Amino acid sequence: MQKDRIFQFIVAMSLVVSFSSCEDFLDLKPISEATTANAYSTANDAEAALTGLYDSFQSEYYIWDNIIFNDVISDNYYAGGDNPEIFAIAGLNLSPTNSRLFNNWSQIYNAIAKANTVLEKVPQIEDPRLDLNNRREQILAEAAFLRAFHYYQLVKMWGGVPLVTRPINSLDPSETHLPRNTEDEVYQQIITDLEFALEWLPDTYNNNASLNKARATAGAANALMATVYAQKPDRDYTQVLHYCIQVEESSANYTLLSNFAHLFDGNHYNNAESIMEVQFTGDTEANWGPQLLLPPSLTGDSWRKFVVPSVNLVNAFDSEGDVIRKNASILWESAPWADEFWHNTVGSTIPFAYRWKSANGWASTNRQYIFRLADIILLKAEALNELGQVEQARVEINRIRSRVNLGPTPATNQQEMRMAILNERRLELCQEARRWDDLRRMDMAVDVMNNLQEIDLRTNTVVDFNMTDYKKLLPIPQQERNRNPNLSQNPGYN
């Protein structure tokens, strides 16, 4: 499947939002379709600008490449497919000229530019409707949350990046050729944005789950804050624990679904476990990702699919006796191609990534979770364990295990519990773009990748991932460095 064909299926998102009352929804087009002259003068304009900002969750990075740079780059999945640049990512042979780096960098910064516009323009709008029920402040809080979320994607992948916190309307190099801020400065900006967001974001907007799960809420901001404090270099597990508890104590009443499979069966959108999810509804608001991953019986085509579960991941499910999550995550089917890691013979049965269930001809309604409660419970368990509260951590991990009929964790001390939580997150959150972040956070990426015994059946040789510390960060895209001479490269890359 060639990349130019993939791009033609990138679609736009249009969220239903309201300004004066969350009971009355306005179906608004993104304000990017309006002209500069008449934009940003009414409450409708403010809502439309915010709609355009939520659009960004349907960019290629958030549909698919976040999985490539978290699950495929790790020990969870193989590249599959036929794209040499994804093969390079899976093999940890990253080059600054890999076009996926520049595409993702550009898409995320475009989302940040939208947030900056909302944050600058909305305070200037003189429409009294924006002052009803603190709607102006809520819009700004939503934009601040989204800017924080996008900067978090950048900083965890690349380290320090240029901080742009206002619209840039000049071609002056002093405005456009910005040097990198430090990693700490980026994380501090993220925290500042989230602290502001938490002042104004409600736990819920109303009783409509499709609205509460689509938009930034206090629950989503607390979940991101917990994640940030865990992932930043000077992690603070006291803060992680605090924000995880804030999620659990939300009046949104997040609860684990009793049936794990319901999370991914396509029939339980906006469920009680979901904190925030992308609202794919089909047609022009569709998810094209499933067509790339699901087997021919579900996609109606015969070309080789991407994101193939690894032998190591399947063994991890089997070693744990985790039948429920394995069956909800992996589908086995005969493939009309040879697979170099499973069976190097055409027609052999291989596993397919199956968290998405329906392709629907590039117009799937299958969704991605931005945050869900199980992720936060396991992060809470990690925080408790790192703070020396091993028995309390045991309670949290067992909440997740019991849902899928697994017995209590056998971990007996802090180190065993650390590894148990890491493995539990792997099985619970595979294909949800968490694994590489987890391995790097726990300083396990180098050891895990260099100890993998992945056999290329074409040559019957073990794959050498040659993982080193510098590969924990991605190379800064060369196209962006060509444009901006003040942008330094990460160590280890040419």
Q: Please report the DSSP string for 183-202 in residue order.
A: HHHHHHHHHHHHHHHHHH--
Nearest CA-CA partner of 197 in 138, 242, 241: 138
Nearest CA-CA partner of 71 in 426, 321, 484: 426
What 3-state DSSP class applies to 115? Answer: helix
Question: What proportion of the chain, given as a percentage, has pLDDT over 70?
Answer: 92
Residue 371 to residue 275: CA distance in whole angstroms: 5
- Using one digit for the tens of pLDDT, what is the confidence trace for 207-219? 999 899 999 999 9
What 3-state DSSP class applies to 212? Answer: helix
- Cβ–Cβ < 8 Å for 62, 48: no
Tell me which amino acid residue 262 is.
Answer: H
CATH class of domain segment(s) 3-284+367-461: mainly alpha
Helices (H), 91-234: 99-121, 135-158, 173-176, 183-200, 209-212, 218-231
- pLDDT band of residue 38 (cuts 50, 70, 90) is low
CA angle, 292 then 297 then 302, to 5°:
60
This prediction has a pTM of: 0.93
Query: Is residue 455 within a helix (H) or strand (E), and if so which, with residue range?
Result: strand 455-456
- Cβ–Cβ < 8 Å for 88, 98: yes
- pLDDT band of residue 19 (cuts 50, 70, 90) is very low
Q: What is the mean pLDDT of the chain?
A: 92
pLDDT reported for residue 17: 29
Residue 108 to residue 115: CA distance in whole angstroms: 11
- Which residues, including other chains, have CB under 8 Å from residue 278's CB and lie 6 or more apart? 13, 57, 58, 62, 287, 367, 368, 370
Residue 146 to residue 216: CA distance in whole angstroms: 8
Residue 81 to residue 87: CA distance in whole angstroms: 9
Residue 315 to residue 334: CA distance in whole angstroms: 20
β pairing state of 306-309 and 349-353: unpaired
pLDDT reported for residue 283: 81
- Using one digit for the tens of pLDDT, what is the confidence trace for 363-408? 999 999 999 999 999 999 999 999 999 999 999 999 999 999 999 9
- Cβ–Cβ < 8 Å for 244, 236: no
Tokens representing 239 are: 């803060």
pLDDT reported for residue 39: 72
Residue 140 to residue 54: CA distance in whole angstroms: 13
- Cβ–Cβ < 8 Å for 425, 63: no
- Neighbour count for residue 120 (Cβ, 10 Å): 14
**Residue extents of the structural domains in the chain:** 3-284+367-461
